[in-house]
């Protein structure tokens, strides 16, 4: 039986949502702007869940040692929809392999639909928890 990956996708994407780490410092000459439309994976949250389920390879810490939990990822979605500045906002205790796998999968994502403010595409931060669990 194939191990199942349970993935959490949060549709509330605000930088200020509960449980998230503080946003990074604002570079000089820039301001934080709350978008009217948040960045979105092509096809929406269900397509993102399918992508993650198909792409994540469970590390041995999960399959053999029973480690479970979430890696909280933070990345930038550019005006063009490209993913960059992929970082771990919160690591999964006792599973550095999970952290590395989450980074690999996020970096390999296709272009997203960028956030918009007043109808104009803007660069934005996106927080995404990725859960690891074997059944």
pLDDT band for position 133 (cuts 50, 70, 90):
confident
| Distance, C-alpha 29 to centroid of its chain | 26
> Could you give the residue ranges of the DSSP H alpha helices within 6-95?
44-55, 60-63
| Stated pTM of the model | 0.76
| CA 17 – CA 112 distance, rounded (Å) | 21
Phi first, then psi, for residue 52 (nearest 5°) are -65, -45
In the chain, the domains with their CATH numbers are: 44-132 (3.30.2420.10)
Model pLDDT for residues 71-124, shown as the tens digit of each residue: 999 999 999 999 999 999 999 998 999 999 999 999 999 999 999 999 999 999
pLDDT of residue 26: 57
């Amino acid at each position: 039986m194939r191990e199942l990956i349970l993935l959490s996708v949060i549709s509330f994407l605000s930088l200020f949502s509960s449980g998230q780490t503080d946003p990074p410092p604002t570079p000089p000459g820039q301001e934080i702007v709350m978008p009217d439309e948040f960045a979105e994976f092509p096809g929406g949250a269900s397509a993102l869940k399918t992508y993650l389920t198909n792409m994540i390879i469970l590390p041995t810490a999960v399959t053999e040692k029973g480690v479970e939990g979430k890696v909280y990822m933070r990345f930038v979605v550019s005006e063009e929809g490209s993913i960059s500045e992929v970082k771990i906002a919160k690591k999964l205790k006792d599973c550095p392999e999970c952290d590395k796998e989450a980074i690999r999968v996020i970096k390999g994502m296709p272009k997203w639909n960028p956030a918009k403010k007043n109808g104009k595409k803007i660069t934005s931060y996106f927080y995404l928890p990725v859960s690891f669990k074997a059944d």
